[in-house]
Amino acid sequence: MCHHCNYNSILKTSELSPTPNRLKILEIVGNNNRPLSAQDIFETLSRSEEINRVTVYRILDLLVEKGVIDRISSGGRSFHYGLAPNKNHPSHPHFYCKLCGNLECLNPEGVHLEIEQIIRTFPGVIEKVEVRLDGVCKICLRNNKKFSNH
Amino acid sequence: MCHHCNYNSILKTSELSPTPNRLKILEIVGNNNRPLSAQDIFETLSRSEEINRVTVYRILDLLVEKGVIDRISSGGRSFHYGLAPNKNHPSHPHFYCKLCGNLECLNPEGVHLEIEQIIRTFPGVIEKVEVRLDGVCKICLRNNKKFSNH
DNA sequence: AGCATTATGCAAATGATTTGCAAAATGTCA
DNA sequence: TGACATTTTGCAAATCATTTGCATAATGCT
Ligand SMILES: [Mn+2]
Ligand SMILES: [Mn+2]
Ligand SMILES: [Zn+2]
Ligand SMILES: [Zn+2]
């Protein structure tokens, strides 16, 4: 969720012309407090615009390619998308609820990750680090007594 | 890769009868040095046995459900499977190569992860933590000069 | 306006996984 | 052992997310 970003200028500095669709998709991704699936984004956008699902996929691919957004794997079958980390938005872990399928952003303070050693010694190129916790979210926990223990 | 595990008894203590197919699939997963996709496992098994792909999926689901193996998300579209962490096999991060699609196990020493705070404060149930590094592996790096910088 | 480039839509294809249902294998017990 | 229940497997088809091919529309540039 960002109130500081000028999405228009982000697109321009990323070599992407700020077309209405790109701008709207970037806004949807950026103004949300959790990473959204392509389907989520398509549905949200469809409420106000006429747009094809494939266009959404293509724009998401573009934004990922240019490093504007991150493709985040959930514990399920679909990818989710969130703003790529930058000075305003530090990289942070996510939580995936296996019951409702929602992915939520976690506070970066809550998890400490040290990867210096691996970065020094790894013989390939490391471009991205993903930390994901899986389990049952607060809401599903309330609705599903059987998961309260264990 | 495990030389200490008795897969047969692992199955039994997990309330699963040790059928030949279950045993073979668990051996393939357990004796491999990286997490395999269902397709990998199916192909490996098919070299010696006649088995249906769906049976592989179903056995993998069972083993995941019983906590014998972990379903690990790659940076791509398919899940991979590896032995669930236990006393002999500590939990560890993985590396996904976006070019060849391979997933490899990383040394648990190379990455330090502290999640006590999130575990204390998170209002749901945390069952699993996944750390994945994405990029280009050593081999693809060698074959693909254009990735050597950047 | 004329022409090249880019963005979008639509239908169909693909890849991974899941489901439904029936047959085969295995277990139980009289 | 034979009858019956339960479990495991196979096969075909369905589902879901994503991608591709190709045609049209929109935009940018001279
Ligand atoms: Mn996030
Ligand atoms: Mn591993
Ligand atoms: Zn939930
Ligand atoms: Zn590779």
Q: How far is the CA of B58 from the C1' of D3 (A)?
A: 30
Which residue in B90, B66, B50, B72 sits closest to B7, CA to CA?
A: B66
- What average pLDDT score do residues B120-146 get? 92
Q: What tokens were used for B13? A: 């203590």
Using the beta-carbon criterion (under 8 Å), do A133 and B134 form an inter-chain contact?
no
Using the beta-carbon criterion (under 8 Å), do A128 and B134 form an inter-chain contact?
yes
Q: Provide the pLDDT confidence category of residue A88 given band limits of 50, 70 and 90.
A: confident
Q: Provide the pLDDT confidence category of residue A150 given band limits of 50, 70 and 90.
A: very low
Which of the following CATH numbers is that of domain B1-84: 3.50.50.60, 3.10.20.600, 3.40.228.10, 1.10.10.10?
1.10.10.10
The length of chain A in residues reads 150
pLDDT digits (tens, 9 = 90+) for B135-146: 999 999 998 766
- Structural domain boundaries in chain A: 1-84, 90-150
Strand D neighbours with CB under 7 A?
A 17, 37-39, 53-54, 57-58, 61, 77-79; B 16-17, 19-22, 50-52, 54-55, 58-59, 77
Q: Could you tell me the fold of the domain covering B90-150?
A: Dna Ligase; domain 1 (3.30.1490)
- Lookup: nucleotide whose C1' is closest to B18 CA: D8
Q: How far is the CA of A74 from the C1' of C13 (A)?
A: 25
3-state DSSP of A24-65: HHHHHHHCCCCCEEHHHHHHHHHCCCCCCHHHHHHHHHHHHH
Q: Enter the pTM of the model.
A: 0.94
Q: Is B71 helix (H, G, I), strand (E, B) or coil?
A: strand
Q: Where does residue A18 fall: left (phi above 0), alpha (psi -120 to 50 degrees), or beta otherwise?
A: beta
How close B40 gets to chain A, by Cα (Å)? 18
Interhelix angle A20-30/A53-65, rounded to 10 degrees, is 70
pLDDT digits (tens, 9 = 90+) for B28-81: 999 999 999 999 999 999 999 999 999 999 999 999 999 999 999 999 999 999
Q: How far is the CA of A32 from the C1' of D25 (A)?
A: 31
- Given A121, A131, A136, which is nearest B131 (Cβ)? A131
Using the beta-carbon criterion (under 8 Å), do A134 and B114 form an inter-chain contact?
no
